[in-house]
Every structure is written in structure tokens, then in C-alpha cells.
């Protein structure tokens, strides 16, 4: 394609916001026509679409180099610089473009970048003012000051202070609350009681001085009085707001709380749970800033078997932890303890819910293992609750009707329901295996008959069906073995004819399969079976086989041993030992 065709394709990709494709097409076009300033302009726009501001700026500058008189090149440059937050340079670029052409696009771009610069400056100012609230001893100072102490009783006001601490840029908005004037006075170390703002105003108080506010002027003396005006009463000094003793008091309270926690831990280790609960509760009352006091209290209640109290204490720890912005690991621990409490109560669904919440906060192997355990317990409990032999029989009979009607998929569904209702009844597995055979789902059928045999090792029909499945899978050796197992589990000879016919069918298929095999090929094929390989590598069996080559009657003697007989039969079925 020509450069113009590539450009048109690039424009279509840009319109579809497929910026990567647009960049590739414009790059190909530039390779064909590097003097076309429009191509650099378009690729700059595509880079801007991906917020790749440096690449966009390079293309815009190259566009200007190729055609310095084209104002749109300066618009591209301004847009790239704007995106990179280089506002002053962006303003210069737009102004240079306006010198070439009084374009609405250039004027719009210039206004947007000027607005963005002003907005960022305002945010910076607000953030600078808000930094006053980042004092780590903020709450200690406010609690020590009589004027601000009462404000801390309002949880919403405390939340507002926390919000400003986390995001200083919101300080101006928060100042709409008149109580913030008192807080500001404490932070600045002055008395701001005399300052006011118009209702609803966002303006800060006028210039603040650290000196006490001047006393109000006395009223003018009466005309008939010759006494000099009284000396003005000095204004009361501003309250001390940064008292060192307040910090000391805070440290002392925290120290006492830690001591109570330590005493609680010692009592807990001694299993003196009443004392431990008292100490942890005391620690929280003294210093309600550390949620470990609450999670420890929850642990005490858990050990006492007071699971509802444990849940209540840990839920409070989560709630308080959110407002205090506590470490997510501590919140995860509280959730984990709630989950353990629900597990002890037998409420597995709630236990799973809170273990999952704990893992969302912080993933630990301990909680993950607890979650898996309770999920397994719940699944087993659900299965046990679902068991109903009568309903199992009904579902199995429905499956039989569907099987006879040729609706094998529905039969599988009904037999599955029968198994769920009574997993100890081998008939459900055996019947479902029959349906799977009709659907030619042989691996699933084999799995079901094995489960039926596992459930009831004397279930003769399951062995016969297993032989039929293995025959269909062309594994004739194992099919013969399954038929032989069926004969062993038919002590009353109820299925002798069926077993014999199945065994003969398998023998014929096996003979036909091996008709052209040499002894070496038969051995190679048989050794692929791990059981055959194990028998052949057994030193005892090797000795027996060597003895049988020179004395065939010795083999008959060895066959009297049931274990040896089973292994010899396995080798016969595999074709390694040939009879007749």
C-alpha cells in the first residue's frame, strides 16, 4: 500500500480506538514518506490515546520540524505536554500555535491546560494546609485541651479528623465544620475563639497572630464625668495547647494499657481466663487504639467456650480496626477467630464466610487449612443430610425405566441421584456403568464398576460388567481376569453360564489378537502391564518359572499356593505361559 492508503487505514484504526494498530500503520506510512508532517501528527495522537506522552511529544516535535508553519503540530505538542503534567511548557506550546493561527482547538487546549494547572495548584495549597492535621499527637493534644476535648465525644467528628489525616487535600472542605476552628487553634498554639466566618463560607480565618486578641475598647466616658477612663482589662491568655504534660500523660496511659495486656497474656498462659479477660478489657478501656486487646479478649472467650462473646469481641475489633486503619493482618486475625468460633458452634456456612474474609485481608496457611477443613466437613455433612435409602430406590427405579426406554442420558442422571441418596448401595454405581456403556463413555463406566466392587466386594454382577467394559476397551487380558474374579465371587453358581460365555468370548478375542504374535512380541506386549512386569521381576517367581521349564509337574505343585496360582494365572492370561 502507498503512504496515503496506510494513513487512511491508520485513521480508521484510530477512530476504532485500536491505537496499537494505528501506530503500526502510521509507522509504515512514515517509512514510505518521512517528509509528510501529517503522519507524525497522527502517530502523536495515537500515542496520546495510549497515554504514551513522551512518544507523543517526540512525534509532535518532529511534525513541527517537518512543517514549522502548521499550527496543529503545536496543538499536538501542547496535548502531549499537558498529559505529562508539564503545564507551563504546554501553555507555551499552545501560545506559539496561536501566533500562527487563531484556532478554536488551540484556544480550547490552552484553556484546559490553564485550568488543570490552577486545579493542581489549589490542591497543593489545600494539601499544604491539611498537613497541619498530620501531627501524630493530634488526638492527644485535642483530648488534653478542654475546648476540643468535648468534640472527641462525637464519632462523626473523629471520623472527619481521620479523613483529613489520610487525605490532607480535604482540609478546606472539613473547615466548614465550626469545631475545626478550635482544632486549628490547638494545632497553631493560639486562641481562635474570637475568629468567625460567614455562614457557609469556605474562607479561612483572617491572618492569625500568636499574640492574645486585643481587649475590647471601653465605652466612652459620660460627659459629666471627669474621671479618666479605666484601664482596659487584659484579655485572658490563650490556652496552652501543646502542653508537654499532655504527651506525657498519653504515654503513661498507653504504658498502663500495655502492662494490662502483658498481665492478660500471663493469665492466659496459666489458663486463668477470668483474670485474662479482665486485663484485656482494662487495656482496651485505657487505650482504645490497639485492636489486639480485643482480639486477645476474643481468644479468652473462645477458650472458655463463650463463642458468641468471642464473635462479638472480634467483630468489634474489625469495626474499630477499620476506623483506626489498623494493620490488615490484625483485621485478618480477628476474622479468622470469628470463623473458628462459628466452626465450634457448628455453623459451617458462617465459618467458611469469615475464613474467606480473613484470607481476603491476609493469606496465611493456617487459615487456608482451616477453610479447607471446614469446607470438607460441610460437604460431608451435606451429603449425610441428603442420604435417604427410600428416595434412592425411587430414583434407581426411575433410571431403570429410562434405561429400558433408551433414554440413557436421563438414566445416568437418575442413577446419580440414587447414588447421592445412598452411596452405600452398589447397585446405583453398577446401573450407571451400564448406562455409560450405552453412551460409549467407557472410562466413566469402568470407574463406576470399580466403585461398585469397592462398595460391595461380593457383587458378582459388577465383576461381570467390568469384564464386558474391558472387552469393549479391547483389553482382553484384564477382561478375562475380571470374568475369573466374577467366578470366584459366585459361590452359589448363580451366574456360571453368563461368566463362562463371557470368559470364552474374551479368550477367542485374545487368541485372535495373538494369532500372528511371536513369543518375543507377546512378552514385549505383556511387559507393558506393570503387574506382569512386577511378577516377572520377582526372584521367587523367576525361580518357579525356571523350574517349570525342566519339570512341568513342579508348576502344578506351586499352583496349590493361592498367591502363586493367582500370579501364574496372570501370566497365562497375558500369554507368557502358553497352555495346551
> How do residues 192-247 score in pLDDT, each as one tens digit?
443 333 333 333 333 333 334 444 444 444 444 444 444 443 333 333 323 233 34
- 119 and 38 co-located in one domain: yes
pTM: 0.41
Neighbours of 376 (CB within 10 A): 11
Q: Does residue 415 form part of some domain?
A: no
All three cell numbers of 542? 523367576
Q: Which long-range contacts (CB under 8 A, 24 or more apart) does 229-232 make?
A: none
| 201 backbone φψ class: left, alpha, beta (φ>0; ψ -120 to 50) | beta
Query: How much is the mean pLDDT over the chain?
Result: 82
- 106 and 150 co-located in one domain: no
* C-beta separation of 179 from 158 below 8 A: no
- 60 and 161 co-located in one domain: no
- 346 and 262 co-located in one domain: yes
Distances (CA, A) of 560 to 403, 556, 557: 44, 7, 6
* C-beta separation of 267 from 279 below 8 A: yes
Q: Does residue 392 form part of some domain?
A: no
CA distance 454 to 385: 23
Q: Does residue 109 form part of some domain?
A: yes
- CA dihedral (153, 157, 163, 164) positive or negative: negative
| CA atoms lying within 13 Å on the CB side of residue 477 | 19
* Cβ-Cβ contacts under 8 Å for 522 (sequence gap 6 or more): 514, 574, 575, 576
Q: Provide the number of structural domains found in the chain.
A: 5
* C-beta separation of 483 from 470 below 8 A: no
- 61 and 114 co-located in one domain: yes
Spell out the alpha helix ranges (H) of 233-291: 244-269, 273-286
Strands (E), 269-349: none
Q: Does residue 214 form part of some domain?
A: no
CA distance 100 to 109: 15
- 284 and 334 co-located in one domain: yes
pLDDT attached to residue 202: 38
Could you tell me the residue range of the domain that residue 350 belongs to? 255-385
CA distance 546 to 405: 56
CA distance 258 to 282: 10
CA distance 423 to 375: 20
All three cell numbers of 242? 501543646
pLDDT attached to residue 123: 56
CATH of the domain at 485: 1.25.40.10
Q: Does residue 528 form part of some domain?
A: yes
Q: Does residue 497 form part of some domain?
A: yes
All three cell numbers of 128? 499544604
* Cβ-Cβ contacts under 8 Å for 15 (sequence gap 6 or more): none
pLDDT attached to residue 126: 52
- 154 and 265 co-located in one domain: no
Q: Does residue 430 form part of some domain?
A: no
At 211 the three-state DSSP class reads coil
- 331 and 379 co-located in one domain: yes
* C-beta separation of 41 from 73 below 8 A: yes
- 114 and 62 co-located in one domain: yes
- 264 and 165 co-located in one domain: no
CA distance 30 to 454: 73
Q: Closest by alpha carbon to 338, among 361, 355, 325? A: 355
> End of a domain among 153, 170, 188?
188
* Cβ-Cβ contacts under 8 Å for 579 (sequence gap 6 or more): 572
Neighbours of 462 (CB within 10 A): 28
> End of a domain among 369, 385, 401?
385
Total residue count of the chain as it appears in this document: 580
Residue with cell 506351586: 558
Q: Does residue 35 form part of some domain?
A: yes
Residue with cell 504527651: 247
* C-beta separation of 425 from 462 below 8 A: no
CATH of the domain at 525: 1.10.260.100
Write out residues in the chain with pLDDT < 70, as ranges: 119-132, 134, 168-176, 188-250, 513-517, 578-580
> End of a domain among 144, 173, 188?
188
- 287 and 350 co-located in one domain: yes
pLDDT in tens, 38-53: 999 999 999 998 899 9
Q: Closest by alpha carbon to 178, among 155, 161, 166, 196? A: 196
CA distance 24 to 37: 17
- 293 and 349 co-located in one domain: yes
Amino acid at each position: 500500500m502507498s503512504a496515503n492508503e496506510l494513513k487512511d487505514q491508520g485513521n480508521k484504526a484510530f477512530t476504532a480506538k485500536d491505537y496499537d494498530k494505528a501506530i503500526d500503520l502510521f509507522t509504515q506510512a512514515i517509512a514510505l514518506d518521512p517528509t509528510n508532517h501529517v503522519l507524525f501528527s497522527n502517530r502523536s495522537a495515537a500515542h496520546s490515546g495510549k497515554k504514551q506522552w513522551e512518544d507523543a511529544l517526540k512525534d509532535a516535535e518532529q511534525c513541527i520540524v517537518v512543517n514549522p508553519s502548521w499550527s496543529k503540530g503545536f496543538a499536538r505538542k501542547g496535548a502531549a505536554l499537558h498529559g505529562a503534567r508539564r503545564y507551563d511548557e504546554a501553555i507555551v506550546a499552545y501560545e506559539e500555535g496561536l501566533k500562527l493561527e487563531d484556532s478554536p482547538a488551540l484556544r480550547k487546549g490552552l484553556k484546559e491546560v490553564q485550568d488543570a494547572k490552577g486545579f493542581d495548584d489549589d490542591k497543593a495549597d489545600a494539601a499544604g494546609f491539611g498537613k497541619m492535621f498530620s501531627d501524630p499527637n493530634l488526638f492527644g493534644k485535642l483530648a488534653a485541651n478542654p475546648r476540643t476535648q468535648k468534640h472527641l465525644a462525637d464519632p462523626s467528628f473523629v471520623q472527619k479528623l481521620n479523613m483529613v489525616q489520610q487525605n490532607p487535600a480535604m482540609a478546606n472542605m472539613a473547615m466548614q465544620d465550626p469545631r475545626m476552628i478550635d482544632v486549628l487553634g490547638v494545632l497553631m498554639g493560639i486562641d481562635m475563639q474570637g475568629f468567625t466566618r460567614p455562614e457557609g463560607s469556605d474562607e479561612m480565618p483572617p491572618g492569625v497572630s500568636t499574640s492574645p486578641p486585643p481587649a475590647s475598647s471601653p465605652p466612652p466616658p459620660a460627659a459629666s464625668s471627669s474621671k479618666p477612663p479605666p484601664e482596659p482589662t487584659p484579655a485572658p491568655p490563650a490556652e496552652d495547647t501543646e502542653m508537654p504534660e499532655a504527651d506525657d500523660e498519653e504515654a503513661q496511659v498507653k504504658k498502663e494499657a500495655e502492662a494490662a495486656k502483658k498481665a492478660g497474656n500471663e493469665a492466659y498462659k496459666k489458663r486463668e481466663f477470668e483474670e485474662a479477660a479482665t486485663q484485656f478489657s482494662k487495656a482496651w478501656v485505657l487505650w482504645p487504639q490497639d485492636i489486639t486487646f480485643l482480639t486477645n479478649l476474643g481468644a479468652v472467650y473462645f477458650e472458655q467456650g463463650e463463642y458468641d462473646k468471642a464473635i462479638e469481641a472480634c467483630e468489634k475489633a474489625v469495626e474499630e480496626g477499620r476506623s483506626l486503619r489498623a494493620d490488615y493482618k490484625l483485621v485478618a486475625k480477628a476474622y479468622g477467630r470469628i470463623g473458628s468460633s462459628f466452626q465450634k458452634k457448628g455453623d459451617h456456612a458462617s465459618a467458611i464466610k469469615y475464613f474467606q474474609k480473613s484470607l481476603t485481608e491476609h493469606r496465611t496457611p493456617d487459615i487456608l487449612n482451616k477453610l479447607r477443613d471446614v469446607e470438607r466437613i460441610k460437604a460431608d455433612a451435606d451429603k449425610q443430610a441428603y442420604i435417604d435409602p427410600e428416595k434412592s430406590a425411587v430414583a434407581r427405579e426411575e433410571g431403570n425405566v429410562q434405561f429400558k426406554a433408551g433414554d440413557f442420558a436421563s438414566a445416568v442422571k437418575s442413577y446419580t441421584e440414587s447414588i447421592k441418596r445412598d452411596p452405600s448401595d452398589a447397585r446405583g454405581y453398577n446401573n450407571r456403568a451400564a448406562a455409560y456403556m450405552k453412551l460409549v463413555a467407557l472410562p466413566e463406566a469402568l470407574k463406576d464398576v470399580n466403585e461398585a466392587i469397592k462398595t460391595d466386594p461380593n457383587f458378582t454382577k459388577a465383576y461381570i460388567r467390568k469384564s464386558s467394559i474391558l472387552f469393549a476397551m479391547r483389553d482382553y487380558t484384564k477382561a478375562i481376569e475380571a470374568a475369573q474374579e466374577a467366578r470366584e465371587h459366585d459361590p452359589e453358581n448363580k451366574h456360571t453360564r453368563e461368566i463362562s460365555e463371557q470368559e470364552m468370548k474374551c479368550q477367542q478375542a485374545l487368541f485372535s489378537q495373538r494369532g500372528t504374535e511371536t513369543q518375543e512380541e507377546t512378552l514385549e506386549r505383556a511387559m507393558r502391564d506393570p503387574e506382569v512386569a512386577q511378577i516377572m521381576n520377582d526372584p521367587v517367581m523367576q525361580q518357579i518359572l525356571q523350574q517349570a521349564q525342566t519339570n512341568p509337574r513342579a508348576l502344578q505343585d506351586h499352583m496349590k499356593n493361592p498367591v502363586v496360582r493367582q500370579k501364574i494365572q496372570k501370566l497365562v492370561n497375558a500369554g507368557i505361559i502358553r497352555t495346551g
